[in-house]
Amino acid sequence: MIQLLLDIAPDARPTLDGFVPGRNAELLAALRGILAGTDPERFLYLWGAEGCGRTHLLQAMVEGFRARQLSAARVQPAPSGELPPLLESLDCVAVDDVERLGVDGQLALFHLFNRLRDSGRGVLLASGSAAPSRTGLREDLATRLAWGLVYQVHGLSDEEKVQALERHAAARGFALPREVTDWLLRHGRRDLPWLVAVVDALDRHSLQVKRPVTLPLLREIAQATLDLQ
């Protein structure tokens, strides 16, 4: 059976350059400024619907800090809703899905924010599915998350996704037929990292079988993997 092409993760680490800005140009500029050290802001909160790219941006920032030989980590609440200890020792902490924090986890993030603010060092990034005041978090934590920069991450329109995928394919050296992207948007997941992963894997498979990237090739693979119908 053909490798599970349509259920793989992106093979490249997330980067800010790999994020298609769409309506998020101001947000992207703010993140670049924080990463470069030209923006003094140290606290930033991102919110948006699933698949909008906020996790990509958090991980891209972590990778960016690490590329500068600085300590950084993206963390998600444990199933118990708790956070790992000793996060204040890092140069950058990115806490994803804050609405999943339990009582102890919320208290830990509250104290982490205060310690970082008082110490004058370290960057704290956080994200959730809603604005701080609408996450259901304890009021004092929600207030602190709103003290820094707060941005909604706007998802790309279908046409912007098509354009992004076409540019990505062109950078890999092949033309991506519009019928392929249209089919993926109708039948697959709609978040861009997954779509890019499919295009990358489809390109690799087309090279292996020595056939161009076409809708018939994609359909064959989809049927063989039983992932999409």
Other beta carbons less than 10 A from residue 180's beta carbon: 24
Dihedral sign for Cα 102, 104, 107, 113, please.
Answer: negative
User: Interhelix angle for 178-187 vs 215-225, to 10°?
Assistant: 30
* Residue 119, helix vs strand vs coil: helix
Tokens of 114: 């205060």
Check pLDDT > 60 for residue 5: no
Identity at 25, one-letter amino acid code? A
Residue 169: CB partners within 8 Å, gap ≥ 6? 175, 176, 199, 203, 213
pLDDT in tens, 15-40: 898 788 889 999 999 999 999 999 99
Q: What is the mean pLDDT of residues 50-67?
A: 93
**CA distances in angstroms from 32 to 19, 42, 58, 198, 220, listed in the order given:** 12, 12, 12, 28, 41
Check pLDDT > 80 for residue 10: no
Assigned CATH for 25-152: 3.40.50.300
d(CA 165, CA 117): 40
Q: What is the mean pLDDT of residues 93-121?
A: 95
pLDDT in tens, 188-197: 788 787 888 8
| Confidence at residue 9, expressed as pLDDT on a 0 to 100 scale | 39
Tokens of 190: 């709609």
Check pLDDT > 50 for residue 228: no
| Confidence at residue 3, expressed as pLDDT on a 0 to 100 scale | 42
Residue 166: CB partners within 8 Å, gap ≥ 6? 175, 176, 181
d(CA 70, CA 60): 14
**CA distances in angstroms from 187 to 6, 19, 222, listed in the order given:** 11, 23, 10
Stretch among 71-80, 85-94, 197-206 having the lowest mean pLDDT = 197-206
Q: What is the mean pLDDT of residues 166-183?
A: 91
Residue 104: CB partners within 8 Å, gap ≥ 6? 80, 81, 82
Look up the pTM and report it.
Answer: 0.81
Tokens of 197: 């992963």
212 vs 5, which has greater pLDDT? 212
Check pLDDT > 90 for residue 60: yes
* Residue 129, helix vs strand vs coil: coil
| Confidence at residue 224, expressed as pLDDT on a 0 to 100 scale | 64
Q: What is the mean pLDDT of residues 150-160?
A: 93
